[in-house]
């Protein structure tokens, strides 16, 4: 975000705070009848696409909260480590610093230090997916860095939602950037930007950003399909943000005979540069999560390789061996820190621990380990899968 835009947005927010002005958003499209709530501690997204600044701010807040709202904006914030946590987390306050996951439409939050003591709340109906019993559910994939927005993704049909600190839920309109979402039975990495103002999608040959402030497409990149060859299904997928919102990591499948070989690339949003971080070495990549300090990318991957013609039955819905790898962003190396049947992972706010969903022998559980893979321990009861499965986990970023 330019300094000019930052100052304008901050000045506008200051005027609203002083005047306690309310805006009627009845004419704003794509709103839900959710409780109105003011939020603080939110900066606008970085990059030249954040325009127009006033209309954009109104539209984004309409998306997240819906209805007629009162806008309360604080001064723009920088990277997560430079921001001041909000004083009020609303319905998320009991989840502060806890590991969060969903089972049977209930949101669980567990303190790894006291795993016997947990809290639960019902996932709002708007995020249930309406896909039938035992078929999948909306699971958490990540938070905004201030802990006031929770990103949820339906395991079965790929629909995505944002839950705000009042408990309201809005669907993410991926169709706006022509970003089809996939299935089946597992969620991807966190597609919500650290400031909560944008979402990123990787599908087919494109990586695209949707600016939630203006509800218009933001920056995007398109890979040359001649480089990738013709393969059934998407060849670009699993996009996730760096902690400062300046880069996006995404997976690209390249051809190796009759098999697909996943590679990882980094996109610098500001200048548009794309560089390869991992050229090969993984059979398939299941999930990714960027470390809070931005120095490492956690990658869940295994040896199984997909054929160029995708199988009718997705083998990943069954337990498949995977490792948790840490990949240095500077390209200096990759190392495995734990082996098992992992499907998703999340970092603790300080980066000292990792929570991971372990599939095991057909059961799901959440384990916590140190950042080097040591002292791994289970903090949840076993949950049968794939019926009633959960494949997402998120660690609340505010301690």
Would the pLDDT of 80 be above 50? no
The pLDDT of residue 60 is above 50:
no
pLDDT of amino acid 156? 76
Q: Report whether pLDDT(248) > 70.
A: yes
Q: Which of 19-28, 171-180, 198-207 has the lowest mean pLDDT?
A: 19-28
What residues contact residue 67 under an 8 Å CB cut-off, 6+ apart? 25, 31, 32, 33, 34, 35, 36
pLDDT-derived band at 129, boundaries 50, 70, 90: low
Note the pLDDT of residue 313.
67
pLDDT of residue 257: 80
Look at 395 and 204; give whichever has higher pLDDT: 395
Candidates 61, 82, 395; CA nearest to 197 is: 61
pLDDT band for position 154 (cuts 50, 70, 90): confident
pLDDT at position 289, please? 98
Give how far Cα 296 sits from Cα of 9, 56, 244, 261, Å: 32, 33, 13, 21
DSSP one-letter string for 54-98: HHHHHHHHHHHH-SSEE----S---SGGGSPPPS--GGGGGGTT-
Phi, psi of 4 (to 5 degrees): -65, -45
- How much is the pLDDT for 231? 55
Q: How confident is the model at residue 270 (pLDDT cuts 50, 70, 90)?
A: very high
Alpha-carbon distance 296 to 376, whole Å? Answer: 20
Distances from the Cα of 59 to the Cα of 90, 144, 149, 164, 349, angstroms: 21, 18, 16, 15, 29
Could you tell me which residues are beta bridge partners of residue 266? 249, 275
With a cut of 80, say whether residue 308 has pLDDT above it.
Answer: no
- Spell out the domain ranges in the chain: 3-79, 90-395
Residue labelled with tokens 């695209």: 208
> Pick the residue with more confidence: 309 or 349?
349
Q: What confidence score (pLDDT) does residue 386 get?
A: 57
Tokens 């009162």 identify what position?
70
Q: Give the pair of three-digit tokens for residue 82.
A: 């430079």
- Say how far apart CA 285 and CA 252 lie, in whole Å: 10
Sheet holding 198-203, edge to edge: 198-203, 206-211, 216-222
| Average pLDDT for 248-276 | 91
Q: What is the mean pLDDT of the chain?
A: 75
At residue 34, does pLDDT exceed 60? no
Strand partners, 108: 101, 120
Confidence of residue 302 (pLDDT cuts 50, 70, 90): very high
- Of 2.130.10.10, 2.120.10.30, 2.60.40.10, 2.40.110.20, the CATH number of 90-395 is 2.120.10.30
Q: Residues 101, 90: contact at Cβ < 8 Å?
A: no
Q: Is residue 7 pLDDT above 80, yes or no?
A: no
- Average pLDDT for 50-71: 35
Question: What percent of the chain clears pLDDT 90, i.e. is strictly above it?
Answer: 44
Residue 22 has pLDDT above 60, yes or no: no
Share of the chain above pLDDT 70, in %: 68
Q: What separation, in Å, do the N-terminal and C-terminal C-alpha atoms of the chain show? A: 27
């Amino acid at each position: 975000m330019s300094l000019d835009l930052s100052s304008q947005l901050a000045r506008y927010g200051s005027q609203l705070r002083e005047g306690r002005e309310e805006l009627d958003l009845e004419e704003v499209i794509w709103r839900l009848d959710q409780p109105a709530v003011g939020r603080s501690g939110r900066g606008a997204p970085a990059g030249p696409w954040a325009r127009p600044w006033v209309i954009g701010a109104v539209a984004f807040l309409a998306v997240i909260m819906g209805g007629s709202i009162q806008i309360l904006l604080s001064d723009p914030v920088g990277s997560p480590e430079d921001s001041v946590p909000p004083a009020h987390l609303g319905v998320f306050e009991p989840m502060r610093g806890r590991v969060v996951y969903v089972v049977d439409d209930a949101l669980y939050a567990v303190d790894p230090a006291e795993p016997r003591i947990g809290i639960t709340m019902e996932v709002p109906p708007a995020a249930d997916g309406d896909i039938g019993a035992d078929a999948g559910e909306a699971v958490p994939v990540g938070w905004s860095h201030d802990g006031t927005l929770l990103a949820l993704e339906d395991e079965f049909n790929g629909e995505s939602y944002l839950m705000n600190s009042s408990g309201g839920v809005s669907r993410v309109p991926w169709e706006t950037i022509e970003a089809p979402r996939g299935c089946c039975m597992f969620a991807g990495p966190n597609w919500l930007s650290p400031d909560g103002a944008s979402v990123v999608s990787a599908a087919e040959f494109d990586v695209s950003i949707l600016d939630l402030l203006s509800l218009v497409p933001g920056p995007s990149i398109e890979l040359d399909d001649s480089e990738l060859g013709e393969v059934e299904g998407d060849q670009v997928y699993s996009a996730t943000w760096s902690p400062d919102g300046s880069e996006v990591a995404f997976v690209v499948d390249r051809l190796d005979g009759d098999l697909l070989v996943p590679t990882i690339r980094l996109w610098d949003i500001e200048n548009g540069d794309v560089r390869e971080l991992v050229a090969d070495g993984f059979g398939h990549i299941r999930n990714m999560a960027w470390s809070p300090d931005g120095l490492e990318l956690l990658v869940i991957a295994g040896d199984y390789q997909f054929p160029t013609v995708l199988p009718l039955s997705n083998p990943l819905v069954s337990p498949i061996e995977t490792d948790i790898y840490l990949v240095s962003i500077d390209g200096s190396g990759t190392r495995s820190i734990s082996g098992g049947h992992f499907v998703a992972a999340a970092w603790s706010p300080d980066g000292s621990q990792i929570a991971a969903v372990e599939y095991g022998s057909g059961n799901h559980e959440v384990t916590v380990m140190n950042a080097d893979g040591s002292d791994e321990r289970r903090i949840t009861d076993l949950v049968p899968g794939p019926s009633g499965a959960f494949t997402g986990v998120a660690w609340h970023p505010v301690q």
